[in-house]
Structures are given as C-alpha cells and as structure tokens.
Amino acid sequence: TPIPVPHFIRNIIEADLASGKHKSIVTRFPPEPNGYLHVGHAKSICLNFGLALDYQGRCNLRFDDTNPEKESEEYARSIQDDVRWLGFQWDGEVRWASDYFEALYDYAVELIRQGKAYVDDLSAEAMREYRGTLTAPGRNSPYRDRPAAENIDLFARMRAGEFPDGSKVLRAKIDMASPNINLRDPAIYRIRRAHHIRTGDQWCIYPMYDYTHCISDALENITHSLCTLEFEDHRPLYDWVLDQLPVPCHPQQIEFSRLELQYTLTSKRKLNQLVTENLVSGWDDPRMPTITGMRRRGYTPEGIREFARRIGISKSDNVVDMSVLEGCIREDMEVRVPRVMAVVKPLKVVITNFVEGETQSREAGFHPNHPEFGSRVVPFSKEIWIEADDFAETPPPGWQRLVPGGEVRLRYSYVIKCDEAIKDAVGNVVELRCSIDPDTLGKNPQGRKVKGVIHWLSVEHALAAEVRLYDRLFTVAEPDGDKARDFREFINPESLTVVQGWVEAAVRDAAPETRYQFERLGYFCADRRDHQPGGKLVFNRTVTLKDSWTK
Ligand code: ATP
Ligand code: MG
Ligand code: MG
C-alpha cells in the first residue's frame, strides 16, 4: 500500500486523536445527485474515504438531495457505482439529507422559537436589493421582527402548502450588516412544489444547502467535514447554525483547494452541457473527465488513487498538468496488464522467401517481468501487417525502423530486409516485399547490427478490431479560463479518431474492460459498452506509451 503524503488535514486529525478530542474520526462524501462524478470528486472521495481507512475511522456516503428538480435516481446510482469502482465502501447504508427533513423542520421551528429565524414575504428581487453589496451593508426586511408565534404559524402553513412557490422564505436572523454576505439573514427554507426522488410530493418546502449540510453532518456525528475552498466564507454560517441548536455534536469544517486539470473541465454544469448538446457521446464518453468516462477509457482505480495521493491536499489553487494523471495511469498499467501486438495503421508486407500457406509459431510471454501472466503463440506467415509509420522511404535522422534496402527485427521473430516498395498510381506505398534472414530467430544476425524492432501481425491470423484513439478533449489548457470565450469553442476536433486495425488472436475472447498494452502503441482497454468477446472487437486507447522501445 502506498505511503500517505502528509498534509494539513492529517495534522489536524492527528492532533485531535492525540489530544483525545476524538477517539476516532468520521468523515463523509456528500455529493448532490445532479450529475456524474468527475475527477475533482475523485480527489474528495480519496481524501474522505482514504482518511477513514488510514485512521480506522468511518466515512459516510450522503446525498445532498435538497434540489429536487435537478436530481435523479440515475445520478444517485452512478455515484454509488463510481465510489465502489474507485475501491471504497461507505459505512453502513447510504444516507440522504432527505432522511433528515423532519428533523431539519423541527430544528427550524426551534430557531424560530428562539427568535433566530423569521418568515419573510419580500420578493426575491427585493430581497436581493435589501441584501446590500460587498461594500454596502444590507437593510433589515420589514418582516424581520415578526413575533415568534406568527412565524411558527406561517412556517407550518408554508409546509402545509397554503402559499405559492417563491412567495415566502424562512430566513435565519443573523446580521444584515455583516461583512460576510452569507450571514445577512440567509434563506434556510423555500417553497418549491417539485417531485423529490425520495420523498415524492410529501414536501413543498425544501431546506437550503448551508442549513442542511451542517445539521446533517452533526446528526451523523461527523468529526471533520472536509469541503472545497469556495465554502470557506460559509463556515461562519455552518458554525452559527450548529451553535444555536441542540445538535449531537459540532463537526469541524475544513476547506481544501479544488482539483482543476489542464485540457479538461471540472464543473458538473459544463460537463452536463457537453452531454445534453451531444458534443460527446454521453457521461461515460472516454474523453470525459467523469469517473465513468475514465473507467470506460481504461483508467485503473489504482492509478486514479495514486494520482490523488500524488497531487496532495493544500489550500493553494493550482491547475494540475494532465501528464501527472496520465503518468499515474501508465505506471500502474505497466506492471498490471499483459502485452500483445496490434497494428492500427496497417501496411502489408509479403515475405518473398517464406513458403505460401506455411505457419511458424513461437511462444511469447505476456509480460517480460511477469511469467505468471502466461504466454500465447505468435504465428508467422508469408503475409504480415506492419505499422505504416514504421516504414519510411526517406527517413528522418536517427530513424531505426524500416527503409528501402534496410533491416529491422520483427518482435519475437526474424530480421527482415526491405527489398522493394510497391506503389499505387499516385505514388503511395501500398505494400512491401521483404525477405527474412532465416538465421536470426532468437539470435543476432552475423556480422552486422540491427537496432530497430517493430511490431507486426500475421495477416491470416490477425483479427479485425475497431480501435478508438482518444486525445485531449480541448485544444487549450484552460478551456474555461477566458471569461469572454465559450469553452465549447475549444473542443478538439481530433479528440477521437476511429480506425480499423488488427489485433492478435489472443485477445479474441477478452471481456469488456480487459486492458492490454499494445506493444509500442500504448495501453488499450476493451470498450465497456461496444466490445463483444469473440465478436466485434472494440478497443479504446487509454494512454500512449511515453517512449516506444527501440531494442
Ligand atoms: P460542481 O461544481 O462540479 O457541480 P459540486 O461541488 O457542486 O461540483 P458536489 O456533488 O456538491 O459537486 O460535490 C461533492 C463533494 O465533492 C463536495 O464535498 C465537493 O467539495 C467535492 N468536489 C467537487 N468538485 C471538486 C473538485 N474539483 N476538487 C475537489 N473536490 C471537489
Ligand atoms: Mg455542491
Ligand atoms: Mg456545483
């Protein structure tokens, strides 16, 4: 298991355990089921569940389901799948903020009773105007001093459905002159007739996020409530609510910086836009930074967890380079997946000195350092496919692959020499005529050095496969960095190239999501949706190899 990287949240937890403030820790991951999780959420998942594992505590999965119009069962299901796929398990049952609707209502009545909440009839527009600005204090609403009894009655009638949507809100009575706008009598309940995925039509008033979140944390005995930095200004409200109420405990909210990744987006709303406007094929499009998209692309949970460990936790904002994520995935795949050969841009080679119809088979291990991965037979015959890019008529300097009159080794097989390049009417090379040196199987040729090694497949034995070559989704590092431009302008038109390639017969029965290294090309994964074992083979390029080997 990887060694934890120290950070300020660990320091706080260790101090709390050492001082006896807490005997053990309880964290939570609190997504709103209004979209699919993305790589930013993965950071939060790894943090919350990871801390619980490291300190033998517990971590809850709690849905923040207080915006009924935007939430769905599909999203809630996908979130659970994603957390489990990343390798984590929440403590006990899944929790829902809606489980606490009755308790939240009672606490609101308690606030009213204490004179710390009131029903306001101001329109949304008037309320905005009364709120003031960063530089100007707000003004008290004319309804602010309603007697508690009247507020209790009005709040009960809000719940009973006597008033139209938006006509009243319940507000916390804090301080309209506070420099922190979040404390200028924030709304804590609104009237909204919307069908809720869990409570149906039972409620027509819904609690607001800030009010719900802190009480939910307290009811679950959360010790450390970890959230992203944009909630720093909400912490005084979090603490204010809990300070007024007889809740079981008062969790500590601690903020850390959001993950942002170059060449992609970490905003659910914008990702949703990509999906609904068909700019990608869905939430699980392998170009998406969603967990389900990364999964379909072939990323491993171990690689993503290592990424989260490596980027660390801090309070400083930074945009992480995509190469950090890709590096973690590559390193993990390097030791984990079998290696086979595939050709994605085929060029036919005819071996002139090999007998037609004959097959010569050699055994080859699936991984140079993992004999336990087993081996397969690699057949050689008169016609083979090589990668078109491995041949050049006029090679650039330093070229170690095939040229007219030159030699190259076929991986696991002979050294071949290119005797002739056949061209079509417009001068494109369409086929090579080569000869083998029969004395080079498993040994170096006599009297000369052949440096280049290329991958290849026997034409007769290769299987056709659809190969999806993915590239970054955006052409610029920060697609939403320029306020004057729309991120959709920067979608990379070449983010997906589909080619008809060839693969070794060894992958014929690979189950969906099986991963391979296609030697020299990169890491690939059998598509989770479209790949059919023994039938239509579809492989996604997960990530390229850093270097193509030359030996
Ligand atoms: P978005 O802004 O993409 O809609 P969100 O914060 O509204 O994200 P939630 O479902 O509320 O989405 O997020 C659940 C948890 O994941 C929260 O605790 C949130 O702070 C955390 N989280 C969301 N995005 C990131 C990110 N980019 N980096 C780290 N943590 C994140
Ligand atoms: Mg949120
Ligand atoms: Mg959001």
The predicted structure's pLDDT at residue 45 = 98
Q: Are 328 and 295 in contact (CB under 8 A)?
A: no
Residue 412 corresponds to which tokens in the numbers above? 């696991």
Q: Are 334 and 275 in contact (CB under 8 A)?
A: no
The predicted structure's pLDDT at residue 1 = 75
**Ligand 2 mean position, distance from CA 168 (Å):** 24
C-alpha to C-alpha distance for 98 and 78, rounded to whole angstroms: 19
Q: Which of 44, 51, 62, 307 to mutate to test the pocket of ligand 1 (most atoms within 8 A of CB)?
A: 44
Residue 30: CB within 6 Å of ligand 1? yes
**At residue 183, what is the residue type?**
L
Kindly list the domain boundaries of the chain, sorted by start residue: 8-93+212-257+303-312, 100-207, 339-458, 463-543
Q: Are 16 and 22 in contact (CB under 8 A)?
A: yes
pLDDT band at 550 (very low <50, low <70, confident <90, very high): very low
The predicted structure's pLDDT at residue 546 = 77
Q: Are 491 and 512 in contact (CB under 8 A)?
A: no
CATH T-level topology, domain 8-93+212-257+303-312? Rossmann fold (3.40.50)
Ligand 1 atom with the shortest distance to the CA of 226: 18
The predicted structure's pLDDT at residue 51 = 98
The predicted structure's pLDDT at residue 497 = 97
pLDDT, one tens digit per residue, over 271-312 is 999 999 999 999 999 999 999 999 999 999 999 999 999 999
The predicted structure's pLDDT at residue 156 = 98
Whether ipTM exceeds 0.90: yes
Average pLDDT, the chain: 96
CATH homologous superfamily for 463-543? Ribosomal Protein L25; Chain P (2.40.240.10)
The predicted structure's pLDDT at residue 548 = 36
Q: Which residues are annotated as a binding site for L-glutamine?
A: 64, 209
CATH number of 100-207: 3.90.800.10
pLDDT, one tens digit per residue, over 461-502 is 999 999 999 999 999 999 999 889 999 999 999 999 999 999
Q: CB count, 10 Å around CB of 260?
A: 18
Does the domain at 339-458 match CATH 2.40.240.10? Answer given as yes
For residue 549, pLDDT over 50 is answered with no
Residue 168 corresponds to which tokens in the numbers above? 């009243």
Ligand 1 atom with the shortest distance to the CA of 45: 16
Do the two domains 8-93+212-257+303-312 and 339-458 of this chain adopt the same fold?
A: no
pLDDT, one tens digit per residue, over 15-69 is 999 999 999 999 999 999 999 999 999 999 999 999 999 999 999 999 999 999 9
**Taking residues 498-520, what's their average pLDDT?**
98
The predicted structure's pLDDT at residue 318 = 84
Q: Are strands 456-458 and 383-387 parallel, antiparallel or unpaired?
A: antiparallel
